[in-house]
Amino acid sequence: MTGSTTAGPLTSRNPGLRFGPDEAPWQRRLPEFASAVEAVSLIMPHAEPYVVDAAERVLDDLPPDLRGQTRGYIRQERSHHAQHRRFNDAVIGVPGDRVGRWLAGLDRAMAATFRFLSRRSARFGIAFAAGFETIAFAGARWVEPRIGRLFGAADDDGARLFLWHLAEEVEHKGVAHDAWIAADGRRSRYLLAMWTAALLLAVFSFAGTMLLLVRRRRWWSPLAHARLAWWSLTFVFEAVTLMMVSALPGHHPDQLADPGYLKAWLWDLDADR
């Protein structure tokens, strides 16, 4: 089953973010949540260029209508990459902070990992992109019922970055899937690529979160670890369930219910511009 998951062309948006050197403490009420989200953000400038390259490599193999949607997907992912890189510069670049040096080392390790992946075939790359988008959509579904608690007291620009990113993940949830079906469609490759994406996200986000807890002097806090364990458990349940469903024959992301708030939030963002 194939077909566009959007009613029209995908829009490349400017969310109007203004990050400065003091942007990193964007969620003071839940510092362990901020640590986890920042750790995920650190992965984006490496993962997203990889999926963009994968989509570009198969463009010529796609039918014309899907080619246009895929170009819109590429533009959105490039914008995510650019904004996360700006945010990450503020996270890593705290003057005189030893954790910043460790985070820079983690950043180099992620860069080396995705350079290695870039040597794999274009078919593996687009399968990785499809699996990566499944996990991102699971993230949007996990966040929505918790938005008030997790983002309610957050700095406007920090919250806007992550909600904008998640909302666009919902908007283009099926494009990479359709590109994978058109360019390859081999489910064994999809499973391998999707679980590779999940493993990399888990390892790198865990490492980044632990380093950021050290920075915030929360590494020894039982409450911080209890919250992180609960959030991780509930997210893994959401993600693994969607990953299993996505591997079934005949599955298409259009069959999944979208998080309504995030779609409405994106409409409001468009109306403001």
Angstrom distance (rounded) from CA 252 to CA 47:
23
Cβ atoms 122, 57 nearer than 8 A:
yes
* Of the candidate ranges 21-30, 110-119, 140-149, the one whose mean pLDDT is the lowest: 21-30
User: What is residue 105's predicted lDDT score, i.e. its pLDDT?
Assistant: 93
Q: Which residue is it, tokens 């246009």?
A: 68
Identify the sign of the CA torsion 183, 188, 191, 194.
negative
Cβ atoms 198, 188 nearer than 8 A:
no
Angstrom distance (rounded) from CA 271 to CA 261:
15
Using one digit for the tens of pLDDT, what is the confidence trace for 229-265? 999 999 999 999 999 999 999 999 999 999 888 878 7
User: What is residue 251's predicted lDDT score, i.e. its pLDDT?
Assistant: 92
Using one digit for the tens of pLDDT, what is the confidence trace for 154-178? 887 888 899 999 999 999 999 999 9
* Of the candidate ranges 3-17, 55-69, 256-270, the one whose mean pLDDT is the lowest: 3-17
Angstrom distance (rounded) from CA 238 to CA 242:
6
DSSP assignment letter at 8: S
User: What is residue 263's predicted lDDT score, i.e. its pLDDT?
Assistant: 77
- The larger pLDDT score, comparing residue 9 to residue 227, is at 227
Angstrom distance (rounded) from CA 173 to CA 237:
19
Helices (H), the chain: 31-58, 64-92, 98-117, 122-143, 147-151, 156-171, 175-183, 187-215, 222-246, 260-271
Burial code of 2-16, b = ≥16 C-beta within 10 A, e = fewer? Answer: eebbbeeebeebebe
Cβ atoms 31, 98 nearer than 8 A:
no
Angstrom distance (rounded) from CA 79 to CA 198:
22
At 132, the pLDDT band (50, 70, 90 cuts) reads: very high
User: What is residue 4's predicted lDDT score, i.e. its pLDDT?
Assistant: 46
Using one digit for the tens of pLDDT, what is the confidence trace for 190-225? 999 999 999 999 999 999 999 999 999 999 999 999
